[in-house]
Amino acid sequence: MKRILCFWIALSAMTLFATAQEDQAPRRDKAFLIEYYRQTFDNLRTAVEGLNAEQLRFQPKLGSWSIGQCLEHILLSELNLLGYAKFTISQAPNPERQSEIKLTDDGIIASLTDRSFRATATAELTPGDAGKYPDPDTPISELADQRKSLISYIESLSDDDMRSRITDSPFGPVDGYQTLLFIAAHTARHTLQIEEIKADPAFPKP
C-alpha cells in the first residue's frame, strides 16, 4: 500500500488545479470508462507501431525518458494503480462521503493529460536507463493482456460498486471509479509524451 500511495503523491502536484468541482460536470459511467480504456490503448499502440530499437532508445536530452522507458513505466504503473483501485473497491460502501469529492471525472483526464505539468516517478516505477524492450511488440502485447483483464474486472462491477466506495488520496477524496479512470488517463499522458519524443528534430529516421 505504501508503494501505491507514493504513486499518487507523485501525481498530486499536477492534479491539484483540477480540484474545483463544477456543478454541471458530467458524471461518467462504466461504458465511458471501458471505451476510454480501449481508446487510450489504441492510441498508444498506433503511436509506437513500427518503431525500431534505435527509435525506442532515443532520448531527446540527457536525463529524459525514451519511448521504451515510457512503455516500461506505463506497464509498471498500471499494475500499481490497479492494486490501489481494487483495494478501494473491495472496501465497505461509504456513499455518505460522496459530497466530499471535489475532483470531476473530466478534470482528472484534463489534468493528467496536461503536459505543462511535470511529475517525478517513484523509484519503483522508474524504468531502467536503457529501457528493456528492443521493439514495441512485447510491451504492447503485455499491455493488451493487462487491459483485457482489467476491462473484464470493470465489466464485473456496477456503477454503484465503483461510485459508492470513497477513499482518501493526497489531493482529496476520490471514488473507486476515479481510481480506475486514473489508469487510462495516465496512459494517455505518456502517449502524448511519446508523440513529443517522435516530434524531436533529432529523432532517428526509420
CB 89 within 8 A of CB 157: yes
pLDDT at 141 over 50: yes
Give the whole-angstrom CA distance, residue 182 versus residue 4.
Answer: 13
pLDDT of residue 130: 63
pLDDT at 16 over 90: no
Q: Indicate the range of 21-35, 46-60, 133-147, 168-182 predicted with least confidence.
A: 21-35
pLDDT of residue 62: 83
For residue 95, the 8-state DSSP code is G
pLDDT in tens, 43-97: 999 999 999 999 999 999 888 999 999 999 999 888 888 998 999 999 999 999 9
Query: Would you list the DSSP string of 4-73?
Result: HHHHHHHHHHHHGGG-PPPTT-----HHHHHHHHHHHHHHHHHHHTT--HHHHH--SSTTPPPHHHHHHH
Q: Classify 174 as helix, strand or coil.
A: strand
Radius of gyration of the chain (CA): 17
Q: Which three cell numbers stand for residue 131?
A: 529501457
pLDDT in tens, 176-187: 999 999 999 999
Q: Classify 167 as helix, strand or coil.
A: strand
* Domains of the chain, residue spans: 2-15+29-198
CB 65 within 8 A of CB 130: no
CB 177 within 8 A of CB 103: no
CA-based nearest residue to 172, from 23, 21, 26: 21
pLDDT of residue 14: 47
Angle between helices 2-15 and 105-112 (to 10 degrees): 90
CA-based nearest residue to 132, from 47, 41, 51, 57: 57
Q: Indicate the range of 54-58, 105-109, 128-132, 183-187 predicted with least confidence.
A: 128-132
* 2-15+29-198 to CATH, choices 1.20.120.450, 3.40.50.11810, 3.40.30.10, 3.40.1440.10: 1.20.120.450
* Percent of the chain whose predicted confidence (pLDDT) is above 70: 82
Distance of CA 30 to the CA centre of its chain: 17
CB 146 within 8 A of CB 79: yes
Angstrom distances, CA of residue 169 to CA of 45, 88, 102, 173: 30, 11, 12, 6
Question: How much is the pTM?
Answer: 0.88
